[in-house]
């Protein structure tokens, strides 16, 4: 696992979300993955709960289904700016990110700053997530978090 492979993975991951190809988003994960959105403070305090908590790829697919067919929220898009990954172990990495959110009325805000803490599976150079913890620097979120981070 090297930085170039991680960069490629993060770029494809961000593009799938930002280009509204959300149906492809679960494919970046293993079938028995763990995806969680939490905050630095909750991590420090040992609080297990996230605002999103999925322990299977199927749960990620259900979230996309809910966003497409069930949930009410205003039209919005994200722009992920993903920083340089830091390899922290044989199968782990941390990568900082920013997300700018643009609402349907044109309002644009810096929505979330944080870091991804990942555990990866390397299948002949193709990386998938066993675990992706989205650790937001703040525990505050403006209105709602609909689209995944």
Partner 1 sequence: MDQISAVSWPKGLSQVPFHVYQDPELLHQEQRLLFEGPVWNYLCLETEIPNPGDWRTTFVGRMPVVVVRTETGAVAAFENRCVHRGALICLDNAGNSKDFTCVYHAWRYDLSGNLKSIAFRKGVNGKGGMPDDFRAEDHATRKLRIETISGLVFGTFSGATPALEAFIGPEVAAALRINASRKLQVIGRFTEVLPNNWKLYAENVRDSYHASLLHVFFATFRINRLSQGGGINVSPNGGCALSTTLAPTDAADTSYSDIRSVDDSLRLSDPSTLDAENEHGDAVRQQILSIFPSFAMQRTYNVMAIRQFIPRGVDKTDLNWVYLGYAGDTPTLRRRRLKQLNLAGPAGFVSMEDGCIGNFVERGSVAAPDGVSLLEMGGAGTESQESRASETAIRGFWKMWRGIMGQ
Q: Which of 139, 135, 107, 140 is nearest to 36 (CA)?
A: 135
> Given the complex with partner 1, which of 67 and 98 has the nearer CB atom?
67
- Asked whether position 102 contacts partner 1 by CB under 8 A, the answer is no
Q: Please say which residue, 20 or 55, places its beta carbon nearer to partner 1.
A: 55
Radius of gyration of the chain (CA): 15
Stretch that binds partner 1, among 7-15, 16-24, 57-65, 116-124 (CB under 8 A): 57-65
Nearer of residues 65 and 81 to partner 1, judged by Cβ: 65
Element containing residue 40 per DSSP (H, E): helix 40-44
**Of residues 2-41, those binding partner 1 (CB under 8 A):** 37-39, 41
135 close to 117: Cβ distance less than 8 angstroms: yes
In the complex with partner 1, the residue whose CB is nearer, 11 or 144, is 144
Min dist CB 30 to partner 1, Å, is 14
User: Contact between 69 and partner 1 (CB under 8 A)?
Assistant: yes
Q: Which of 102, 133, 105 is nearest to 120 (CA)?
A: 133
Q: Find all residues with CB under 8 Å of 55, minimum gap 6, and list them.
A: 32, 33, 34
Site residue total, partner 1 (CB under 8 A): 37
Q: How far apart are CA 115 and CA 59, in angstroms?
A: 22
Residues that bind partner 1 (CB under 8 A): 37-39, 41-42, 45, 47-56, 58-59, 61-63, 65-66, 69-74, 139-146
């Amino acid at each position: 696992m090297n930085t170039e492979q991680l960069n490629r993975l993060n770029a494809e991951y961000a593009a799938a979300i930002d280009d509204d190809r959300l149906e492809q988003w679960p494919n970046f994960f293993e079938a028995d993955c763990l995806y969680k959105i939490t905050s630095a403070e909750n991590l420090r305090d040992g609080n297990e709960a996230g605002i999103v908590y999925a322990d299977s790829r199927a749960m990620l697919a259900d979230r996309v289904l809910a966003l497409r067919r069930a949930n009410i929220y205003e039209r919005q898009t994200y722009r992920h700016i993903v920083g340089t990954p830091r390899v922290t172990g044989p199968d782990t990495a941390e990568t900082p990110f920013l997300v700018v959110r643009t609402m349907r009325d044109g309002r644009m805000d810096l929505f979330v700053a944080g870091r991804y803490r990942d555990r990866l599976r390397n299948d002949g150079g193709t990386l998938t997530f066993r675990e992706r913890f989205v650790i937001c620097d703040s525990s505050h979120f403006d209105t709602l978090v609909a689209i995944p981070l």
